[in-house]
Structure 1
Amino acid sequence: MPRSKTALLIVAAGRGTRLGSEIPKQYLKLAGVPVLRHALDRFRAHPEIGTIRVVIDPAHRALYEAAVAGLDLRPPVEGGAERGQSVMNGLRALVEDAPEQVLVHDAARPFVAGSVIDRVLAALDEAPGAIPALPVADTLKRAAALDGPVEGTEDRNRLFRAQTPQGFHFKTLLEAHEKTQKSTTDDAALLEELGLDVRLVEGDETLFKITTEDDLTRAEQMAGTEMEPRMGTGFDVHRLGPGESIMLCGIEIAHDRTLIGHSDADVGLHAITDALLGAIADGDIGSHFPPSDPQWKGAASDRFLAHARDLVLGRGGRITHIDVTLICERPKVGPHRPAMRTRIAEILGLSEGRVSVKATTSEKLGFTGRGEGIAAQAAATVLLPAEAP
């Protein structure tokens, strides 16, 4: 089958929430280049790839345009609420190009080897579908939950880990999606349900999908990104006034007074936000969220911290540790410390082992000792792509 009619469909409409970033993982940077661009450059270098269409979330159009700047690509395709609908939208957009075969690839797999593309395309000469895969090497245990008892051991001898790009005869895949109308994380499964032949070809360990923080670290190392540590500090204070509760480190605590400020006056999150901004040398919380701007009146401070997080991630960086100390006589922080650590970890996409929350008093001295206000100081450690001094 001539391969000049091979189209590529890259599915990039996901949000990648497991990394804890508002910037989807396909737009995070490896060695200063977005993950999506890494994948695109590898496919574009292959001589047998013709039309390329990328399926995106319209809300991320600006991120997409930045990622593909300088490339001569067809307009992106609007994705659906689920992956199956996104693939269907992409296939329908390709109909006018009349490709004979199509490769469907996950944008979060940046390292595509030309040899894998070759093997998938070669298999399509003999079958309507082909996917790269690797044999399962680990012993497989069956259990109801990760922390539950082992119920049995599975035979791994005939099991394989599916990867992408998955290749198909174009009309066959389009018809399979139209017939089944199912959402799936694996397009080959639709052909399997219809009893059609799907061939396995040898995959590649470098074709892993970026899903977790550890995956991102591995991808940074493969992309040749030399990372350097940076540290920033932050300090914040708010006075106390009449009220019934206060916000501290993202947790509402019942109290006979409240913290006064333009936003929700969460001194803990404000100090962490400034620490992160300091680590990347990008001003302070007031320069990003001016107290004179009415849109931030009463705003939840987790929005400020999420913004600082995304600035770090947008520069190809990673947050590795947060340490915050709350300074007050009351309320007692100890009973709320676990919930505070959990909330900060959720906002930043970190494990709780990377978040420290401490508290101290000022021995009745100063404004905190007199119960006039609460202060917080924080330190943040991040890794950023190395720069020349």
Structure 2
Amino acid sequence: MRDVSEKQAADDKVAVVIVAAGRGARAGQANGPKQYQQIGGGAVIARTLDAFLTHPKIGAVVVAIHAEDDALFRRAAGANADRVVAVTGGTSRQESVRLGLLALRSHAPGRVLIHDAARPFVDAELIDRTIAAIGERQGALPALPVADTLKRETAEGMIGETVSRAGLHAAQTPQGFPFWPILAAHEKAHHLGKADFTDDAAIAEWAHIPVKIVPGSPDNVKLTWARDIAMADQRLSSAPRFPDIRTGNGYDVHAFEPGDHVTLCGVAIPHDRKLSGHSDADVGLHALTDALLATCGAGDIGTHFPPSDPQWKGAASRIFVEHAVKLVRARGGRIANADITLICEAPRVGPHREAMTEALSAMLRISRDRISIKATTNEKLGFVGREEGIAAIATASVVFPGDVPE
């Protein structure tokens, strides 16, 4: 079992344990365990993972899978398989959760959500409500009031009594808890041999951890039977959808200082001055790096390459672009196009446009016809017009896997 790295488990983020080790026999085994069956053109677990990995408050994600499902999981999760920690689950849901929590122990955040992989329709609002209700010694349970009349059955299969539904709720996941108390509760239950808890709120109740009920979602259904899988597939297949295309923009500016050339879009251009900066001060590539990072919510260039770090002094800016490209591709993104506008009075960009396009094609690993490099003056206005420096604006469009509901 691997522990989550410190980089994955930032203190201000909420960790997640997704339970996916079950066999799902009630859903039928013809197409494999239910969490790997197809709905709307993708695996159930892929939709579940995407709901958490795209949420801004979520940090480390651990998935508890069956010992025989590693290849199945990686195929279903796609690029997201490398963004989570997969651990071998146990023979019961309770044991799988405990093992998932243990994987977070070394660098645990303050809060953790525990979710069933077979609930692929969890949404950001439900995640937000659950997170908001977690306290230092308080858990949170999304639930819906029971609407149906309840009957208790006798041993003979007859109605024994009508059960009052006042105050009764149907529990959902994700269930949220302060990390250390819920881990301690699971460990205590394990050591005492108590293995009959059906959810984590029940363990919290047993361990005297108060749990607040928050409004659940009627859409957040658990797929249990083959019919559930079929209905989920029909629901997604009939829903209007549009591609997940994201656009990011970036802006950068650098001042001139004494020198004999400037570097723009990866090309050295002879000039009577150079641009001042901690790296090679390539404004075009700096703006493009920020645009690419924006498409996957990965911060900006200063987050990854702080100017205070001496290792980046004089560094070629293609390093920054290639790092951003790697992050985009790790999330399954395909760069559709890149557009850069250089704003300067001098030097002339036109004679070097082809070389710049070739350099960007290699960095981005896209064809030249998907790259646009333009130049304009500032009509002698402002610092650019006074030839004190050069500015750049960049836009990047990236296509990410999966469709987004309309």
TM-score (structure 1 length as normaliser) = 0.55
AA paired with 1:26? Q
Structure 1 residues 23-54: Cα deviation after superposition (integer angstroms, max 9, x where no partner): 00000011110000001111111100000110
Instruction: Choose from 218, 222, 225 the match for 1:209.
Output: 222
Partner of 1:6: 14
Q: Is the 8 A contact 1:128 1:172 kept in 2?
A: no
Alignment of 1:110-129 (within 5 A): 110-125=120-135, 128-129=138-139
Residue deviations 1:108-133 (CA, integer Å, cap 9, x gap)? 00001111111101101475210100
Q: Which residue among 135, 144, 159 is the counterpart of 2:154?
A: 144
Please give the secondary structure, in 2, of the residue aligned with 1:224: helix
The alignment status of 1:70 with 2:65, answered yes or no, reads no
- Tell me whether 1:97 sits opposite 2:107 in the alignment: yes
For 1:199, the equivalent position in structure 2 comes to 212
* Unpaired runs of at least 5, structure 2: 1-9, 240-406
| 1:1-389 correspondence to structure 2 within 5 Å | 4-21=12-29, 23-71=32-80, 72-125=82-135, 128-144=138-154, 148-181=157-190, 182-183=194-195, 184-224=197-237
Distance 2:183 2:231 in 1: 35
Post-superposition Cα deviations, 1:301-358, rounded to whole Å, max 9, x if no partner, equal: xxxxxxxxxxxxxxxxxxxxxxxxxxxxxxxxxxxxxxxxxxxxxxxxxxxxxxxxxx
Deviation of 1:5 (Å): 2.9
1:121 and 1:100, CA in 2 relative to 1: closer, same or farther beyond 3 A?
same
Distance 2:47 2:67 in 1: 21
Per-residue CA distance 1:150-197 (angstroms, 9 max, x = gap): 000001011000000000000010000111223322001111112221
- Residue 221 of structure 1, CA deviation: 2.4
**Number of aligned pairs?**
224
CA-CA distance at 1:69 after TM superposition: 1.4
Equivalents in 2 of 1:194, 1:53: separation in Å?
23
Q: Confirm or deny: 8 A CA contact 1:30 1:225 kept in the other structure.
A: no
Give me the whole-angstrom Cα distance separating, in 1, the residues matched to 2:238 and 2:43: 12
Q: How far is 1:75 from its partner?
A: 3.4
Give the distance between the partners of 1:170 and 1:54, measured in 2 at CA: 16
Residues 141, 173 of structure 2: 8 Å contact kept: yes
Bigger shift: 134-143 or 205-214?
Answer: 205-214
Task: Report the identity percentage.
Answer: 46
Separation in 2 of the partners of 1:218 and 1:136?
22
User: Structure 1 residues 4, 221: closer, same or farther in 2, change over 3 A?
Assistant: farther
Partner AA of 2:53 in structure 1: R
- Uncovered stretches (5+) of structure 1, i.e. residues with no partner: 227-389
Partner Cα separation in structure 2 for residue 75 and residue 175 of structure 1: 21
Specify whether residues 13 and 26 from structure 1 end up closer, same or farther in structure 2 by C-alpha distance, changes over 3 A only. Answer: same
User: Residue deviations 1:236-259, cap 9 Å, x none?
Assistant: xxxxxxxxxxxxxxxxxxxxxxxx
Asked whether the equivalents of residues 53 and 73 of structure 1 are also in contact (C-alpha less than 8 Å), the reply is no
CA distance in 1, matches of 2:198, 2:73: 22
Secondary structure at 1:141 match in 2 = strand
Match of 2:64, SS state, is strand
Considering only aligned residues, what root-mean-square deviation do their CA atoms show, in Å?
A: 1.8
Secondary structure (helix, strand or coil) at the match of 1:68 reads helix
Tell me which amino acid in the other structure corresponds to 1:21.
Answer: Q
Larger of the two Rg values belongs to structure: 2
